[in-house]
Amino acid sequence: MTFEWIQIPYALLTIFIVLNYGLLMTALIAKIAARVGRRHGIPIWQNYADLVKNYGLRSSITHGVMFYMGPVFRLTGGVGLLLFVPTIYGSVMFSNLSFAGDLILALYFVFFGTLGMALGAAESGHPYSAIGITRGLSQVTMAELPLALAVFAVALHYQTLSITEIVAAQQGGFLNWTLFTNPLAVAAAMLAFLGSMMRPPFDVVLAPQEIPIGPPTEYHSSYLALMQTNRVLFPIAKIVVYMNLFFGGATSWPEFFIKVFLIYMVSVLVGVVFPRFRVEQSIRWFMIWAVPIGILAIVLA
Amino acid sequence: MHDLYDRLKTRFPLGDWIARRPDLAFVDVPLAQLRSVLLHLRDQEGFTHLVLLTAVDWIETGEFQLTYLLCNRRRACDLGLRARIARDPASMESIHDLWPTAATYQRELREMFGIDFPGSPRLHEDFILEGWREIPPYRRDFDTLAYARETYRERPGRVTRDPAAYMQQQLDPGGH
Amino acid sequence: MVSAIYPLAAALASAFLLGLLHERQRAPAYAITLGVLGFMTLTAASWVWGFAQTGQAGFEIYTAGVAPPFAISLRLGLAEASLMLLINLTGLLSAIHLQAPLLAHGRRAMAVLLIAVMALGGLVMTRDLFNLFVFIELIVIATGGLVLLSDDPRAVVAGFKYLIISQLVTVFLLIGIIFAYHGTGTLNIDGMAMTTMGLASGGALAFFLMFIAVVIETKPFPANGWALDIYESAHPAFAAIFSAASAAAALFAVDKLLLIGGSDWLPIATGIGILSFVGANLLALPQTNDRRLLGYSSIAQTGLVLVVLGQRDLLGDHTLYVAGGLLLANAVAKAGLFWLSDLIPKREPAAWAALRHHPLALFAFATLLALLVGLPPFPSFYAKWDLVHPLADAGRLWLLGLILFGTLLEAGYLFRWFGYSLKREAPALTGSLVSPRFGVVLVAVAAAWLLALLWGELSVHDNLLLAVPLAFALAFLALDWLPARVKNALAITGLVAYFALTYTDYDPLRMIFAVIFLLGSALTMLAGFDVQGRRPGFYPSVMLMLAGLIMLIRATDSFAFFAAWEVLTIGSYFLILRGKRSEPHALSYLLFSFGGALAMLAGFALAAQGAPSIELVALAQVAESVAPWVFLLLAIGFMTKTAAIGLHIWLPGAHAEAELDVSPMVSGILLKAGLYGLMVLLLAMGTQRLAGVDLVDLLLWIGALTAFLGNLMAIFQEDAKRLLAYSSIGQMGYAIFGLALMNHLGWLMALMFVINHYIYKSMLFLAVGGVARRTGTRQMFLMGGLITLMPLSFIAVMIGIIAMSGVPPLSGFGGRWIFYNAILATDARLPIALIFLSGPIAFLYLFRLIHTIFLGQLKDEHRQVKEAPFWILLPQMIYVAILIVAALVPGLLLRHVDQYLTEFFPFGALNWEGLRITSDFGYWNPVAIMLTIGVIFMLLLSWLLFVNRRAQKVKQFNIVFSAERPYRPETTHFAWNFFAPYRKAMGFLVQPLVTRFWDLITQTLHGIGEMTRRIYNGNAQTYAFHLIGFVVVVFLLGPGGTA
Amino acid sequence: MKPELQPRRVTGPDGQEFEVDPLRDYYCEAPPAVHPPAYLKIIEDLFNWARAESIWILGFGTGCGAIEMRPLMTPRFDAYRYGIQWRPTPRQANLFVISGYLSVKTLKRVIRSYEQMQNPKYVVGLGSCTINGGMYWDSYNTIKRLDDYLPVDVYIAGCMPRPESLLHGFMELKRIIRAGQAEGANDYARNFAWYKDNQKRVIHDWDMPDYNW
Amino acid sequence: MVFIAMAAGFILILIGFYGALTNRNLLRMIVSFTLADTGVHIVLVAVGALPGRTAPILDASVPVAEAVTRIVDPVPQALVLTAIVIGLGVTTLMLAYAYRLFAQKGTLDIAKFTELKW
């Protein structure tokens, strides 16, 4: 795999598909949640309206250079992650830029956006931003651990770090998925997944009433729009990693849509059932439940 | 509750006992005895909770009447102690050392009635009225209506009606 | 060669002659005294010169012209001549120092002084027991007189106690002598030695009495309360004689007697010696009087020499070299220190801060202490090395351990003392430095360096003093008067030139370290241009440290390695001590390093198996029975420097309190020494098993734990430099972990960490130091919002933390990628979980660092803060450039290392084709990553700039504040206890258990010292009891027990 | 003025003394700007459609009406289906619902929050009190005409208005937005002096910059 | 004879030691030490003569070559003399000390002179 210019339009196409899919899917999920509560819920195109409106706001303020760059970092993280991971297995078109790096790149690039965002939010000088970042970082350090362990277990399992090869090893029937061949690793990873999705019970970071929306308190207009774009792209990019590692990847767009939706729904289902944890509670929860599973996974791998 | 009055009577010179409800009564207390009665009620009679501290402007007699409403949680009854202080200059001993909450009430009384409570914490900070420049608004010599007219622009077309009469007219225009 | 009789006679005669002078003719009397002492000194010097030049063996002098037993014989050899020189010189210099009291007391005092010096010389030369007794008694009487020269009224009591003890000693000695004579028929020592003493006739007991009497003259613990009192109360110049000359003479007498006793008595001498050494050092710990402290130290050192004498069966002919090294070092140091103590106004050790007023005095103090402790290049260093090796070979490990333990204790209180001298409030000196009283101290200092040169020449090892780096470093001592900028330029030029001259010598592994130690430090030292003035003491220290580092990587045998280790330790100690509040931290640094060095010493000694030193590569061939122990000891030694968990408590304070440009050096550069050691060790010895445990696995766990706990502790720090320091602990843990993986990529990762850690830790320490310089604080919560005022520092910190946290696209990611590939090839799974956890934790403290300093709310008092000075920024910007280049083309240096590592770990090398790096498991294309991220970033940024083109720049209080407004920046800046929720969840892991453990140990030692020294209750009779008890116990344990 | 807003002498770390004027140093002093609509009408129409379909209300209850707004979000009324939701911070909100009577103390906070919202922004006066003071018409401490202080787009009469009428009011607002007539923010900027004058007339302890960015 | 002398000498030494260690008075201590010294001298004299050897006079009966094994070394006798002289010297010195100590504190109790300790 090397770089060719044709990959740029392919990558743009991937972004376009994933962005639209994400906008619709999150709206759909909100709608499902509303229907559970006997509400009509938002219109399916609500996310488009929100996005356009935020891009369309006429005024904006800036607290400084990092404030300006925070959302850029954030979205770069999302887009980059999406592009560094092959989206559709077996498709040259949608392998995107995965030649640049392997699983480890994906794993560490997750932090790129987080870091930039945290820097940007912190420059606003708002104490609630800082509190939100504290909470987010504290929580994510522990939540990422089971994932790292699971990824390590999977890499050991398949003796490779290349995502494409891991997906290839899972082809030929769903019983070949890591989900079935290495359930412990998947269990650990999925618990980590819950922690990284910013949904209940792990959403104290945003705590809208207590620390108005946490890190992005000061963000608005097009900054917020960039972050909303990322909010759509980034979880899907992450899910693509999960899908590729644990659920056999996707060989076509329909399969991709279904799998992403289902994996996303896991966090939603957990979220609507459980109340919110405080940060130290969620850290302890990960330490007591998720980490041991992860350790078991690597010890037994 | 009257037995409480009897017990108190033996210790302190008290005014009349006005029982509003079986669990609510008011009694006048001489200013000099107020503090010791409060202390006694708090420590001996179980009135541990200061429900509120408020004032009434008796402009005619040139006095403020302060009401200390205490609550006995265990027996679920309230007792209001009333004391009268001079209206001008209005000053009263602070009881924030007995109940820390009293400080807040005292701040309010200072702002609304202009009663001074020397020693009470944060007494002169703005409480509700930020930047108030008139005489305290709850004093009866403050003309609220004139102040409101002068300060806040009215929207023309506002009509004020007596609700009873207006409803009567609406429901029964004939006036039967 | 002048006959040995003349000096003795001259002294004796002039002592009598002085009596002829008139009481008031004090100046002539003094002149005569000095003249005679000078003559004696010169004579002794001529002897030494003669013996050294001709290599001639010693000869006997028959006083009556006949051989013993009919007459008394003296012997004069190189040893005797050297000791005579020492004694006479000490006498001369002390006489100069004693000018005022001698002139005050007149001719009698001078006569007594002459007698004392003469008697000491006699004690050294005589071969006759009778004569021995006479000289000892002369010494007693003279001492009894000279003690009274002191201004201290308590000296009278001390003298009386001494006399009482002497009475007892006399009795033992005479009884012993006469019975020995009875058994052998001769009083000549050599004659006695030739006849085996009949045990039946009680010969052993006779010898015991004689022996113990002379041993008591060496003031063995615990029968030495009287000696301490003299040290404390006598005039310091006399104490110098008492410590340097008397002890030396007594020790030589013991050695002579041991000739008679034969090898059976060696263990007893050893036992007494080691008890004195450890006991006196332990008791010195809680001392609060400087002279008494010196007294304890003197007793300890004498004990150590006694140990050496007791090890004659092992050391053989080498005994003289070893014992001489220790003895002369102690004598010169003690004499110098006692003389120096006269300049100090008060008697508590902290009053030595008075020396701070004069760099020369401070230099003298440092030299003498180093001489005493046995740091390279001083003779005691060679001596200890040569002592320890045979001990280890002969399996006398208890003795070895006790010696090392005592040495550590000694270093503890001596360097604590040195710390006082730099850091405590400085009173004025009594007396001026141009007086002869200070002149004699300088003579001692000169003697110290001369001895260093001499012992280096005499040793079987290389002469350390002649090593180019060390000489270059020491040259800065002489250049200390130059302005700091000139010295800085010189130093940088020297470093770069040395690299240019030697860069062909290094293999790729050493090359990495050479680059960091030479070029890296030169780069960091650019920040030194910022300092105005002379910056006294800085350049010798820093160059000493760097010299040590260079010598370390150039060392091929264990001696050179160890010497380099000590040099770098001492240099860095001085460097760290320069910080404002660094006194306790520097001490704890030194103690841990020194303790680690002693462990290394033991390890090398075990490994050498009797050889004077061992080639480092030969560590691979160490016998299997000792190999794991060697590994363990060396690893512990190295890990004190990398601050592995448990041994880490010195690091945060030492790094945080150091000066602005010292912190990056001690963190970015110095820590690598430990890693280098571990690499050498692992390369040579590989895996070792002890009690079924694979030591490398143990190392793996230590590395993981260190990484985890170091990082965890870092996130709870409020002090920016402490945070970085704890982070260093964690980073070193990573590196140890990588090494302990013992596979190709693990090593590659560790080496990459070496480079990366150097770059970003130097950069961050400089940046934070610059900020701290401008804001006047290191507490992060007191800063905030500095991004607009110090943008370049901010950029440095930001690049630093991105690189350090391993986020692509900067170079830290490469490290993580190699790390993942490395652990995939290993079977150790559990420690990996810990290491995984520490990665994201690093993210926490790094964010805190940048947030609380540069982001958030700017404080009132910092509104007009300027950007850090140019010279502090310059290296940072260079580091930024290097980081970016290293991120783009990591192969530049790593490729060669990768290739080189193939020699040791043939499997798992990376594949470098074009821009792409491939391992057995994955692949990585740094340029593609950088480009992709860059392009996406720029596109999005330009989009945002376009959309937001009319954004209003607002100020710091224009924030949404729940419809209120902020009151003050300090109440709005969320910074203190930043990770409170994390502390709630994980705080239980950062209990300061290790600190408590070490505190407990030091307190216990202090407590034992404090308790034990109560036996010296000041009563002469108690001391007499001690003495008799000591004699009885030694008897029961020695000859009495065996009979 | 509050002491913390008064200029103060500060000593820097290098010992240099200087003055800090909080209002000047800590707050942006720029006046609000008039922001023209997009250059292309079709784009402005698209934006207006989006603005109308995505109304984010600032979660700031200024009076008793706040409690009456809760039912809007319940399954019974479900304002979400109209693209209406609450945001906790004024930076992200478009609509400010002044829910009921407005005391002078609260007015100060309302002005702050309003000014921190981004252009375009809308104000809905909820209940009689915002229109003419309602039952607080003779209060010493309650304003009577909201539009003297902030540009109001829609008033919803009633004391209290039912959720249905609120929804109706929001529909009306949407209509105005879509028609491009909800230019309150620009009006405010244009008539800034007048609004400030009115505001300062009732807020006697004005202790904030003229415009709260 | 030799045995008696030796025994007497040792007894004196022990008495001297006992006296020096149990008496707190400086003068008594000094006296005790002189006793012990005397004991030592007696022992020296008693032990110094080697049985079966002649006086150290080198004449025809004692050839120089055999002298080493045949004569009694005169040095031990000299030793006794020296020891006596030195003992005297030390005793004098101690007395002088005792005088100064008394001048300092007005007491001769050894237990009172314990400023220097630990």
Q: What pLDDT is attached to residue C149?
A: 86
B2-171 homologous superfamily: NADH:ubiquinone oxidoreductase Nqo5 subunit (3.30.460.80)
Q: Do chains A and C touch (3 or more CB pairs under 8 A)?
A: yes
pLDDT digits (tens, 9 = 90+) for E90-111: 999 999 999 998 988 888 888 8
Interface of B with D in 97-136 (CB under 8 A): 126, 128-133
| Facing residue for E73 by CB, picked from C170, C185, C233 | C185
Contact list in D for residue A209 (CB cut-off 8 A) is: 88
pLDDT digits (tens, 9 = 90+) for C351-362: 999 888 888 888
pLDDT digits (tens, 9 = 90+) for B75-114: 999 999 999 999 888 999 999 999 999 999 999 999 999 9
Q: Name the nearest CA neighbour of C311 among C351, C274, C358, C361.
A: C274
Q: What pLDDT is attached to residue C200?
A: 44
Q: Name the nearest CA neighbour of D142 among D155, D129, D151, D154.
A: D129
Q: What pLDDT is attached to residue C199?
A: 46
Count of domains forming chain D:
1
Q: Is C1017 on the interface with E (CB under 8 A)?
A: yes
What the block records as the tokens of A238 is 């992450």
pLDDT digits (tens, 9 = 90+) for C550-562: 999 998 889 999 9
- Give percent above pLDDT 90 in chain C: 37
Residue C1029 has pLDDT above 60, yes or no: yes
What subunits make at least 3 CB pairs under 8 angstroms with A? C, D
CATH number for the region E2-49+71-112 comes to 1.10.287.3510
What the block records as the tokens of A127 is 């104490």
| Sign, CA torsion B12/B14/B19/B25 | negative
Residue C771 has pLDDT above 50, yes or no: yes
Residue E68 has pLDDT above 80, yes or no: no
Q: Name the nearest CA neighbour of D144 among B151, C867, C853, C723.
A: B151
Interface test with D, best of A29, A38, A59, A128 (most D CBs within 10 A): A59
Contact list in A for residue C798 (CB cut-off 8 A) is: 119
Report the gap between the CA of C966 and the closest CA in chain D (Å). 10
pLDDT digits (tens, 9 = 90+) for C23-41: 888 888 999 999 999 999 9
Q: What is the mean pLDDT of residues A73-96?
A: 88
Interface test with D, best of B122, B152, B159 (most D CBs within 10 A): B152
Q: Do C186 and E90 touch (CB under 8 A)?
A: no
Measured between CA atoms, the residue of chain D closest to residue B134 is D140
Q: What pLDDT is attached to residue C7?
A: 84
User: DSSP readout, C415-446?
Assistant: HHHHHHHHHS--PPPSS-TTSHHHHHHHHHHH
Q: Is E12 on the interface with C (CB under 8 A)?
A: no
Q: Do C187 and E78 touch (CB under 8 A)?
A: no
pLDDT digits (tens, 9 = 90+) for D58-80: 988 888 888 888 888 888 999 99
Q: What pLDDT is attached to residue C981?
A: 87
Q: What pLDDT is attached to residue C69?
A: 67
Q: Do C957 and D26 touch (CB under 8 A)?
A: yes
Among the residue ranges A90-104, B147-161, C620-634, the one predicted with the least confidence is: A90-104
Contact list in B for residue D202 (CB cut-off 8 A) is: 151-152
Q: What pLDDT is attached to residue C314?
A: 86
Residue C896 has pLDDT above 70, yes or no: yes
Q: What pLDDT is attached to residue A108?
A: 86
DSSP assignment, residue D63? Answer: S
Q: Do C958 and A130 touch (CB under 8 A)?
A: no
Residue C1041 has pLDDT above 60, yes or no: no
Residue-wise over C689-712: b if at least 16 C-beta within 10 A, else e?
eeeeebbbbebbbbbbbbbbbbbb
Looking from the CA of C600 toward its CB, the CA atoms found within 13 Å total: 29
Residue C201 has pLDDT above 60, yes or no: no
Ranges of each domain in chain C: 182-458, 467-938
Q: What pLDDT is attached to residue A258?
A: 94
Q: Do C163 and E90 touch (CB under 8 A)?
A: yes
Residue C490 has pLDDT above 90, yes or no: yes
Q: Quick check: is D150 in a domain?
A: yes
Q: What pLDDT is attached to residue C400?
A: 92
**What is the interface size between A and D, counted as CB pairs within 8 Å?**
87
Contact list in B for residue D137 (CB cut-off 8 A) is: 148, 154, 158, 160
Q: Is C159 on the interface with E (CB under 8 A)?
A: yes
Residue C740 has pLDDT above 50, yes or no: yes
Q: What pLDDT is attached to residue C71?
A: 73
Q: Is D104 on the interface with B (CB under 8 A)?
A: yes
Report the gap between the CA of C178 and the closest CA in chain E (Å). 6
Q: Is D105 on the interface with B (CB under 8 A)?
A: yes
Q: What is the mean pLDDT of residues C173-190?
A: 82
Q: Do chains B and C touch (3 or more CB pairs under 8 A)?
A: no
What the block records as the tokens of B29 is 């207390």
Q: State the pLDDT confidence band at C202, using cuts at 50, 70 and 90.
A: low
Q: What pLDDT is attached to residue C37?
A: 92
Residue C924's beta-bridge partner residues?
A: A101, C917
Measured between CA atoms, the residue of chain C closest to residue A162 is C922
- Write out the H or E segment, with its range, that includes residue B26: strand B24-28
3-state secondary structure of C108: helix
User: DSSP readout, C193-234?
Assistant: HHSPPPTTTTHHHHHHHHHHHHHHHT--TTS-HHHHHHHHHS
What the block records as the tokens of E118 is 């630990």
Interface test with A, best of D26, D80, D82, D91 (most A CBs within 10 A): D91
Q: Do D91 and A220 touch (CB under 8 A)?
A: yes
Q: What pLDDT is attached to residue A97?
A: 82
Q: What is the mean pLDDT of residues C380-406?
A: 90
Residue B65's beta-bridge partner residues?
A: B56, B84
| Facing residue for A75 by CB, picked from C816, C922, C940 | C940
Taking the C-alpha atoms of residue B26 and residue B81, their distance in angstroms, rounded to an integer, is 6
Q: What domain range includes position D77?
A: 40-202
Q: Do D20 and C863 touch (CB under 8 A)?
A: yes
Q: Do A162 and C837 touch (CB under 8 A)?
A: no
Q: What is the mean pLDDT of residues A246-274?
A: 91
Residue C881 has pLDDT above 90, yes or no: yes
Measured between CA atoms, the residue of chain C closest to residue A211 is C962
- Give percent above pLDDT 70 in chain D: 100
Contact list in B for residue D143 (CB cut-off 8 A) is: 152
Q: What pLDDT is attached to residue C305?
A: 92
Task: Please state, rounded to an integer, the average pLDDT across all residues of chain A.
Answer: 89
Report the gap between the CA of E1 and the closest CA in chain C (Å). 16
Taking the C-alpha atoms of residue C854 and residue C790, their distance in angstroms, rounded to an integer, is 8
Contact list in D for residue B150 (CB cut-off 8 A) is: none
| Sign, CA torsion C642/C647/C653/C658 | negative
Q: Do D16 and C952 touch (CB under 8 A)?
A: no
Q: What is the mean pLDDT of residues C823-851?
A: 86
Residue D20's beta-bridge partner residues?
A: D8
Q: Is C808 on the interface with A (CB under 8 A)?
A: yes
Q: What pLDDT is attached to residue C726?
A: 92
Q: Would the ipTM clear 0.85, i.e. be above it?
A: yes
Interface test with D, best of A36, A57, A218 (most D CBs within 10 A): A57
Taking the C-alpha atoms of residue D110 and residue C624, their distance in angstroms, rounded to an integer, is 82
What amino acid is encoded at C160 in this protein?
A: F
Residue C1040 has pLDDT above 70, yes or no: no
Q: Name the nearest CA neighbour of A264 among A30, A67, A59, A95.
A: A30
Task: Please state, rounded to an integer, the average pLDDT across all residues of chain C.
Answer: 88
How many C-beta atoms surround the C-beta of residue C840 within 10 A? Answer: 21
